[in-house]
Structure 1
């Protein structure tokens, strides 16, 4: 570190601030230090730094199922946000939502010396008897309705309200909904908001259909809806299921959007290139991740666990898959 400081013409304290990604260093100075580090091949001694600071600059991440688009995007966004803050991420994917599985994941991560743990969509935390091991800062992504831990999520209710209201404003008398799995926080919040929005508008509330986030489950629901008279608008709880609904409707001879409007949720990259392009709700996973990492670092640095719940507003993206209902 002394060699780096001498080459960069700064103090050892300034080198330390750059190594620890502190903000109180001018950018020109930071670049001189980084250049000197590269020339000299300097690598921080993380073990020694941990002994001094009590921090390992590593976050643990537990995801309950990576097959979901939202979970996968959250993992990616949290990893990148942590890296920007100078932290690495160790992740464990847990398929079984049991108390034993959660405790085993915590044990594995704490043995890897993490400073805090992010949990993504952990329905198991609804279990009253479950208590997470003490002493490790925790932040939830999409979950923990009991508010025992800080939580950050997209405002799922707002997103569902935006899409349902959009379809009603186009003139549809009601909106059918293909919901996600019943044990999903996001799916429940979207379905509840869809139902509440219809009731507020004085519209009929059709029977709820359930899928599993897959296009295949949307296709199955779409085939059922295609046989029902009077279905002019369908809101699927994610874009994959909306794709399945759209195919089923087209196969049954329904035009989109002339006969039936179809909307999704998530705004997959491919959604803009469907035929027709899909109306959907865009989630800002990067902002969600930044808030998660910020809450986590705040806990690590202060030792205090905030009882915070933060929601990030989504954006309605209107494309050509929705339009006015057919004339009688």
Structure 2
């Protein structure tokens, strides 16, 4: 193909150009790029300077043939429309990139054995070195545990045990923090608006709520099981608003909601019904979505450090590939206190 008039095409630098500028052999440049420990520091520095000056970019396909490592981590994502799973996906991709890996993402519209098998086969054809499975539901976790991937598989958020090749936030501890916060404020009638019980995270949050209530000598009460959405939270919030008229005894003065999206719906329903938040009902959510601080009232919630989850997942991938031991303890959640909760004022 001929150059267009007035235009010139500068050829991309190749390894031979780097070798010529650095005054070394082609093989020496290749060893530096592939991380060989046998290169003298002064030679390595000279090669790296030549690479920077020329703007040379190694051919990753050729490098993979030499090292027999693709530098690719596969990610299987489920329920990417929800804040938690989508945030985890981004954090894993960012952490992988920061560690020098490429990522290949396979989103699953539904979690079935066939869909997962197809995803694993797709990633295997790309010669990925490991797979990060974002498994938020019981079915996804079961499929991930039974799958024969033929390579390391790291499960993110779906395993509450904190054991094996898994990474996540301690959901039970987070729910305890939320419930204990309400108990410390003097609330005794605290209801839980749960997430879908087919989700491991929802199950963990319900367990933490019930443990905290029983430890304080209080009776747990799950008002309803939702589907994570604001619309569902609104409908359940209307039920909560109806039961609390005229200061009747036994009615909830506080609610721990399993995620912030449902908590948004609950807040709207309560205020629409003339119930004050936090005057009549204190509300705590879970996740700390970006909008939580800007609601009216600003939402007290449990923060999950999704960036740390992604970093820990990639650290575990690298440690597994290198055959070195790695810590897999669950990450701690954090209580963020805002305006939707306050001290319970006892009626005369």
Q: Is the shorter-chain TM-score for this pair beyond 0.5, marking a shared fold?
A: yes
SS of equivalent to 2:187: coil
Which residue in the other structure is 1:150 paired with?
165
> Is 1:213 aligned to residue 228 of structure 2?
yes
C-alpha distance in structure 1 between counterparts of 2:26 and 2:174, whole Å: 50
User: Which sits farther off after the overlay, 6-15 or 81-90?
Assistant: 6-15
Q: Cα distance 1:218–1:287, how it changes in 2: closer, same or farther (>3 A)?
A: same
1:154/1:283 contact within 8 Å kept: yes
**Partners in 1 of 2:288 and 2:188 — Cα distance?**
25
Stretch of structure 1 that moved more, 145-154 or 62-71: 145-154
Q: How many Å apart are 1:135 and its aligned residue? A: 2.1
Answer whether contact 1:21 1:86 (CA < 8 A) is retained.
no
The answer to which of 219-228 and 144-153 deviates more is 144-153
Mapping 1:140-289, distance limit 5 Å: 140-144=155-159, 149-229=164-244, 230-289=251-310
Q: Which has more radius of gyration? A: 2
Counterpart-to-counterpart distance in 1, 2:296 and 2:67: 55
Equivalent residue of 2:105, what SS?
strand
Shift in Å, 1:14: 8.8
Residue aligning to 1:324: 343
Task: Provide the rounded CA distance (Å) in 2 between the counterparts of 1:299 and 1:325.
Answer: 50
Q: How far is 1:94 from its partner?
A: 0.8
Two-structure CA RMSD over aligned residues (Å): 3.2
TM superposition shift of 1:47: 2.1
Q: What are the ranges of 5 or more consecutive residues in structure 1 without an aligned counterpart?
A: none
CA contact (8 A) 2:166 2:328 kept: yes
Q: How does 1:1-328 map to 2 (within 5 A)?
A: 1=15, 3-4=17-18, 7=21, 19=33, 36-121=50-135, 123-125=138-140, 127=142, 131-144=146-159, 149-229=164-244, 230-302=251-323, 309-328=328-347
The DSSP-based 3-state class of the residue aligned with 1:154 is coil
Partners of 2:31 and 2:23 in 1: CA distance = 14
Aligned residues: 325
Task: Give, in angstroms, the shift of residue 71 of structure 1.
Answer: 0.2
How far does residue 269 in structure 1 lie from its aligned partner after superposition? 1.2
TM (norm. structure 2) is: 0.83
The answer (yes or no) to whether the contact 1:178–1:236 under 8 Å persists in 2 is yes
Normalised to the residue count of structure 1, the TM-score between the two structures is: 0.88
Q: Distance in 2 between matches of 1:276 and 1:30?
A: 58
Any idea what the Cα deviations from partners look like across 1:168-200, whole Å, max 9, x if unmatched?
000001321111111111111001110111011
Work out whether residues 162 and 329 of structure 2, in 8 Å CA contact, stay in contact via their aligned partners in 1.
no
Q: 1:223 Cα shift?
A: 0.5
Q: In the aligned structure 2, how far is the partner of 1:146 from the partner of 1:136?
A: 22
